[in-house]
Amino acid sequence: MTFSATQWPSPAKLNLFLYVNGRRDDGYHELQTLFQFVDHGDTLTITPNQTGKITLAPAIDGVPLESNLIYKAAIALQEKAQSTLGADIHLDKRLPMGGGLGGGSSNAATALVALNHLWDTQLSEDELAEIGVKLGADVPVFVRGKAAFAEGVGEIFQAAEPEEKYYLVVKPPVDVSTVSIFTHPKLTRNTPKRDLSTLLSQNYENDCEKIVTELHPEVDKALSWLLEYAPSRLTGTGACVFAEFQTREDAVTVFNKLPDWLEGFVAKGINRSPLLIALQRS
């Protein structure tokens, strides 16, 4: 049997808002956050094989194969489904690493969803999400492929339909440690819980933004620059920040003024993941 290569999208996500409601005894935080996908991301080219081996190219500096979430996802699916098939996977990386855009989680989800289809292992969406959550808290969002409101420690999901705006997403030249933000003594941890309809009707904010901009002047500088043009805020714990626009033209106009020290892209917010659309087409 011969297998052909197929391409699968691995989109970025934005946290349109992020509120920290409290810290639990186990150290994890209670959150309320709104995930939306954007039509920009990485691409996985996957060719199934009959050897049972998983190969991944190109190698990422400082990330051993066994630690790569794509590899871990493929192995976990093999074991769960008891599949004897393998795959040769090539990652076209467009998303900045460590930016708060969910790139690694999205890569893992794309591997799970695509290989489940290509290997014909027939696991349900719930079963794939169950594998995914062991790889990372955000992986199930990408597996399910629908914009979502998340609560608890990020494991309780509710479908959501936020407005699909255009975004200019920028990455300052700095990496932010999520652990350092969530362990910071000055992090806001007492934002009252509110229902989704209330949250959607109010201005969106991110409780991590104050600490991140204090610790990382580059993020503060990037955010200040964006705020001259449009409502802007941090996504996740950063380092990426984004500005929102009603039209692509407006976003591109500001993108064309981007200072040399920033990298970025323009994308449309979408409530259905391109991965879901690719799966339905195939």
The model's pTM: 0.94
Q: What is the CATH number of the domain that holds 208?
A: 3.30.70.890
Burial of residue 196, with CB atoms counted within 10 A of its CB: 0-12 exposed, 13-18 middle, 19 or more buried? middle
Query: How many folded domains does the chain comprise?
Result: 2
pLDDT at 153: 77
Instruction: Give yes or no: residues 38 and 79 share one domain.
Output: yes
Residue 275 belongs to some domain of the structure: no
209 and 130 in a common domain: no
Whole-angstrom Cα distance, residue 110 to residue 190? 35
What SS3 state is found at 103? helix
Q: What is the pLDDT of residue 97?
A: 83
Q: Which of 145, 160, 175 is the C-terminal boundary of a domain?
A: 160
Residue 1, pLDDT score: 64
Whether residue 194 sits in one domain with residue 68: no
Do 139 and 223 fall within a single domain?
A: no
- Note if the bond before 239 is cis, omega within 30 degrees: yes
Single residue among 139, 160, 181 that ends a domain in this structure: 160
Residues 197 and 153 grouped into a single domain: no
By annotation, the residues acting in catalysis are: 13, 138
Q: How many whole angstroms separate alpha carbon 107 and alpha carbon 91?
A: 9
Looking at residue 158, its pLDDT comes to 92
Q: Do 154 and 175 share a domain, yes or no?
A: no
Tell me which residue range forms the domain holding 32.
Answer: 6-160
Confidence (pLDDT) at 137? 85
Same domain, 139 and 25: yes
- 104, 135, 160 - which closes a domain: 160
Q: Verify that 142 and 45 share a domain, yes or no.
A: yes
pLDDT on residue 155: 77
Same domain for 99 and 150? yes
> Tokens 């989680």 belong to which residue?
105
For the chain, which ranges sit under pLDDT 50? Answer: none
Q: 272: which DSSP letter?
A: B
